[in-house]
Amino acid sequence: MSEFAPHPPETEYREKKEKNPVESYEIMRNPEARKEVLQRIDNLIDDTIEQDTDVLFFLDKSARPLSWLFRERYKNRFPERTLPEIKFTNIGSGNFNREDAIPTALQAKNFAAALRSGDLIDEDALPPSWKEKMHDEERERRIKNVYGESLMNKNIIFVDEIGLSGGSLGTAIVQFRDAYPEAGSLQGMSLFHQEYIDRWPHGSNRDLMPWYSDPGLIGVFDRADKNSLLAGTLNAAELGRFDGLKVQKGEELKQGLHSLENHLRTTSEHLVGLTEQVRRIIGSQESLLKEYLEEDYIKPLEDILRLLQKTSISKKDFERIAFELNGCWDTVRRFCLSVAKQRQVSEEEKNLLEQWARAYEEIGKRCSEISKTIDELSHLERRREVLSEGSDKAKMLRKELKRLAKTPRT
């Protein structure tokens, strides 16, 4: 669309009856936040019309709710106009590293100014030193596989919800240009800059964009493939698939936990037996004991040996054991070497001392693994709750944004 062509007229806002309309804002509670987010979306709409934009890419996951508001607001303002195609990409900042790609002072100043003002950033505005660090042939291949030929000759704007360095936008622009050299214009913009949010006088970023601190509101989740360009959508089918994976993963973790616990008890029984033998080897050399196994160590070790004989050990117990042994097993090892050197023990006794030290190390490692496994099991349960709640909360947020989109312009 030519910049001189007249924009289609905006229509009057007419409330339409809808199923289960939102009577109040439970998520977007802050009126100043609603006003400001809507104004930024209006500015974005104006930019897309002025730039004759064909495709908008909202960066997953946090920018996705902005796409819902954009879609509804655009349709309300320009019902006769074709809505730009809306897509998503979870591109992140890729292999971008600011420290390895420091721009000149002028480049940084111009780029930062555009980022802070919320203006559109052209690919030519990206500092050349940044571009060199953003090329990624593997990512280019993935982009082509996911989006196919749909971006040929298209004018594209990438939208991020909050910008700081501009790394995510820069990565998207450069890597999509690499994948589609024949595309039209590639631009990017951040709805807000982090510095602005930090100084926002009407609350925090939780008020401005509640979903930023509550991922469940976004309605999507990260896929298992960390390099995936697409997030998964929270729906009944996805929850069902997750439940299946959760059961499978949960069983694997429980089996692993059972094996670790058995191994731990076997090792601890071995350690108890070794300890009595080691005491006989050490004899009455109290100076060695005081030098290497002072009260800070000997008391926790004795407590741990008793604890390991308990019928049931809690996660807290395991964490304590892991912590205590992680801090002292090396001291035990050095003590054993010193005993072997000063006492001129036999080869058999030396091996026994080494076994004793290794047993301590082994228990510490097993306790850490057990604690980690228990955490993974808990994480599975918590994630299921978040996904389930998130599906409902995302629906509520969409309803609120749909209502907000109907707000008359001031």
Give the domain extent around 68.
Answer: 31-233
pTM confidence score: 0.60
pLDDT of residue 162: 84
- Residue 3 falls inside a structural domain: no
Instruction: Residue 179: name the closest of 15, 57, 61 by CA.
Output: 57
Q: Scan for tokens 């918590």, then name that residue.
A: 382
What are the DSSP calls for 81-117, one per residue? SPPPEEEEE--TTTT--GGGSPPPHHHHHHHHHHHHH
Both 158 and 266 in one domain: the answer is no
- Identity of the amino acid at 284: S
- Residue 123 falls inside a structural domain: yes
Both 180 and 162 in one domain: the answer is yes
The CB-side HSE value for 345 (13 A sphere, CA atoms) comes to 20
- Residue 248 falls inside a structural domain: yes
Burial class (CB in 10 A: 0-12, 13-18, 19+), 262: exposed
pLDDT of residue 46: 95
- Residue 162 falls inside a structural domain: yes
User: Furthest-apart CA pair in the chain: how many Å?
Assistant: 98
Instruction: Residue 41: name the closest of 203, 209, 176, 231 by CA.
Output: 209
Q: Scan for tokens 């002292």, then name that residue.
A: 328
- How far is Cα 114 from Cα 119, in angstroms, rounded to an integer? 5
- Residue 131 falls inside a structural domain: yes
E strand or H helix at 121: strand 121-122
Instruction: Residue 194: name the closest of 115, 287, 304 by CA.
Output: 115
Say if residues 162 and 212 touch (Cβ distance below 8 Å).
yes
- Residue 179 falls inside a structural domain: yes
- How far is Cα 190 from Cα 240, in angstroms, rounded to an integer? 35
Both 161 and 247 in one domain: the answer is no
Which segments within 143-299 are labelled E, that is strand? 156-163, 186-193, 220-221, 232-233
Distances from the Cα of 58 to the Cαs of 164, 176, 281, in angstroms? 16, 14, 69
- Residue 21 falls inside a structural domain: no
Q: Scan for tokens 């977007």, then name that residue.
A: 28
Both 328 and 359 in one domain: the answer is yes
pLDDT of residue 74: 97
Both 41 and 184 in one domain: the answer is yes
Task: Note the pLDDT tens digit of each residue in 208-247.
Answer: 888 877 767 776 655 545 566 766 565 555 556 656 666 7
Both 50 and 179 in one domain: the answer is yes
Q: Give the end of a domain, one of 205, 233, 261.
A: 233
E strand or H helix at 266: helix 236-282
396 in helix, strand or coil? helix
Both 194 and 299 in one domain: the answer is no
Both 176 and 66 in one domain: the answer is yes
Q: Scan for tokens 């995302």, then name that residue.
A: 394
Structure tokens at 264: 């731990």
pLDDT of residue 371: 78
- Residue 280 falls inside a structural domain: yes
- 12 Cα distance to chain centroid: 42
Instruction: Residue 200: name the closest of 187, 189, 212 by CA.
Output: 212
Both 157 and 205 in one domain: the answer is yes
Work out how many domains the chain is built from and give that number. Answer: 2
Both 223 and 331 in one domain: the answer is no
Both 175 and 264 in one domain: the answer is no
- Kindly provide the b/e burial profile for residues 35-47, where b requires at least 16 CB atoms within 10 angstroms of the residue's own CB: ebbbebbbebbeb
Peptide bond into 75 cis (omega under 30): no
pLDDT of residue 12: 40
Which segments within 164-201 are labelled E, that is strand? 186-193
Residues of the chain with pLDDT under 50: 1-18, 22, 93-106, 224
- How far is Cα 233 from Cα 224, in angstroms, rounded to an integer? 13
Both 378 and 287 in one domain: the answer is yes
CATH of the domain at 193: 3.40.50
